[in-house]
């Protein structure tokens, strides 16, 4: 897990309104739609809760999630290939990922498909790293590390599988989804600690 390399804030920046940043904002805009589709699919469950009916809306929610995660890959690639990397993008991109993945985790816990403790540990790390980024912004921008990117890939893959009505397709895929989510949990915690060291380094280097 290599630590992220803190970067001093860029003086000369590409225009803020560029295709990579627009895709990031689109990803944020897809979050309410994704949650709405999951709610449309849900029905009254045991003990007054709600549970998935695994109907068409669930497929639609899984589709919106897939589209949003594809924009994550595309905006990163575009930003690097066309020199569109901005400080705004470095901060907004991880936030967009966290909103989408956070919404997915909370919804799966509400639907009793993911233990709340998994959701809480991941959300605590994501919130902590976001706050840390804001706190150290006066020293420079702390971009996503390679470990952080791996964490997002594992979280997205686990969530994407869990969002598909796997019980209907093949039960064993539920186990695969669960273990990917456990791997995501471990990488989430380890990279969270790694960012703390990165922030300390960034502060030391710019003092």
Ligand X SMILES: O=P(O)(O)OC[C@H](O)CO
Q: Which two tokens stand for residue 4?
A: 């992220």
Minimum distance from residue 166 beta carbon to ligand X (Å): 24
**Diameter of the chain by CA atoms?**
57
Asked if 108 interacts with ligand X (CB under 6 A), we say no
Minimum distance from residue 47 beta carbon to ligand X (Å): 35
Residues 6+ apart with CB under 8 A from 37: 57, 58, 60, 61, 64
Asked if 156 interacts with ligand X (CB under 6 A), we say no
List the interface residues with ligand X, window 67-96 (CB under 6 A).
72, 93-94
Minimum distance from residue 101 beta carbon to ligand X (Å): 8
Distances (CA, A) of 73 to 20, 77, 113, 169: 10, 6, 27, 27
Asked if 41 interacts with ligand X (CB under 6 A), we say no
CA atoms within 13 A on the CB side of 206: 17
CB atoms within 10 A of CB 46: 8
Of residues 149, 160, 165, 201, which one binds ligand X by CB under 6 A? Answer: 149
Q: Which is nearer to ligand X, 124 or 168 (CB)?
A: 124
Q: Which is nearer to ligand X, 162 or 199 (CB)?
A: 199
Asked if 27 interacts with ligand X (CB under 6 A), we say no
Asked if 140 interacts with ligand X (CB under 6 A), we say no
Q: Is 49 left (phi over 0), alpha (psi -120 to 50) or beta?
A: beta
Minimum distance from residue 120 beta carbon to ligand X (Å): 17
Interacting residues toward ligand X by CB under 6 A: 72, 93-94, 97, 129, 144, 148-149, 151-152, 191
């Amino acid at each position: 897990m290599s630590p992220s390399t803190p970067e001093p804030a860029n003086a000369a920046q590409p225009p803020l309104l560029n295709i990579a940043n627009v895709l990031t904002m689109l990803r944020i805009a897809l979050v309410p739609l994704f949650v709405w589709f999951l709610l449309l699919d849900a029905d009254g469950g045991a003990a007054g809760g709600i549970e998935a009916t695994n109907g068409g809306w669930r497929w639609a929610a899984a589709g919106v999630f897939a589209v949003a995660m594809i924009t994550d890959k595309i905006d990163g690639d575009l930003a690097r290939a066309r020199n569109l990397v901005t400080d705004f993008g470095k901060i907004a991109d991880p936030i967009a990922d966290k909103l989408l993945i956070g919404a997915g985790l909370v919804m799966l816990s509400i639907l009793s498909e993911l233990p709340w403790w998994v959701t809480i540990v991941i959300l605590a790390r994501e919130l902590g790293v976001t706050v840390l980024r804001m706190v150290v912004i006066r020293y420079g921008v702390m971009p996503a590390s390679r470990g952080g990117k791996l964490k997002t890939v594992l979280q997205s893959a686990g969530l994407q599988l869990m969002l598909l009505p796997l019980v209907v397709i093949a039960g064993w895929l539920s186990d695969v989804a669960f273990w990917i989510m456990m791997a995501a949990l471990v990488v989430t915690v380890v990279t969270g600690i790694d960012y703390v060291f990165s922030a300390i380094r960034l502060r030391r280097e710019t003092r």
